[in-house]
Every structure is written in structure tokens, then in C-alpha cells.
Amino acid sequence: MNASRKTTSFTQLSTLLSIVTLWLCSFSVFASDLKVGDIAPNFNLQATTGEFYKLSDYKDKQVIVLAWYPMANTRGCTIECKSLVEKGHLIREYNVSYFMASVDPLDDNRDFAEKTNADFPMLSDPSKGVAKDYDVLNIFRVASRVTFYISKQGKILKIDDDINPATAAEDIAKNLQLLNVSKR
């Protein structure tokens, strides 16, 4: 095979891999056994800041918004994160704590948080145990893009699997309003 053919083959393979990666990151396969009204699985995950966050620490204190995303530093996930950074003030009007979570290694999420200027905790679940508990681990072994709204009592208020990354913050704020979550 000559050099020109090798370059063309490599370019085609590279293009195909890029398309597959983009597709995987926008792909949402969601058929959860968890339902509204169920007790949310507890989690204890490390954030990009080094701190650990446990759902049980918020019991009787705040509503939790847990936004799962497929993969750090990919197009759709970057758009979603930037929405939460740029319009996060809409969410912070409510008595909530909100997190983005993925099965990425902590260092990947740290890099992602730095690149997007994330001003909220980004949680890592590299063991995929919590993702399995929340039933968001898809056939590609990454988390589907799903947001959980969890009451102060630890019950699931809403499961949103129809996420528009570009309007994620506005949509979360609308859902908090619809769920009658108190403002600060």
C-alpha cells in the first residue's frame, strides 16, 4: 500500500472514529427501574475539588439535582457544562445543590472542569457502581445523559432523560419551579 492510500485510510478511520465518538456522547439509552417516588440510591463520590459528596449529607436540608453526562471533554457534554456555568444563577435561585456526574476518571473530570470553568461540583464514578445504582450506565459503558431531582427526604421527584445540552440550566430551573422547590 502506498503512502497516499495509507493517509487516506487513516483519515477515513479518524473521521469515522470522530463520528462514532460524537454519536456516543449524544446517545441516550434509558430504561431505568428507578421511578418517581423511589428512594434515590445513596452516593459518596469524589468531586474535581477533591471533596467527597454524599447524598445522605443533604437529607432534610436541600433538594439535589444530579445530572449524569456521558464523557468529559466531548462536544455535547461541554455544551451542557457551559450552560450550567453560564446560566447557573438560575439554578442557584432555588434551595438546591447541583452536580454533574460521569464515570470518567477524576483527572479527566478535573481537566474538564478547568476547561469549562465549572463552578459547581463535578463528580467522578470510575468504578461505575453509582451509575449502575442509578441505572444510567448504557451499553457503551458510559452514563446516559439523565438528570435526577431528589427531594430533601431522599425520594426521586423527577427523572429527566430528554436533555438539551444547550439549555440544560434553563431547563433545570424550569423543572425546579414546576416541582415547587423553594427559592433561597
Q: What is the pLDDT, as a whole number, of residue 33? A: 86
Q: What is the pLDDT of residues 60-105, one digit of tens each?
A: 999 999 999 999 999 999 999 999 999 999 999 999 999 999 999 9
DSSP for 70-128 reads S-TTSHHHHHHHHHHHHSHHHHHTBSEEEEEEESS-HHHHHHHHHHHT--S-EEE-TT-
* Cα–Cα distance for residue pair 68/104, rounded to 1 Å: 11
pTM of the model as a whole: 0.83
Say which residue, 8 or 107, is predicted with more confidence. 107
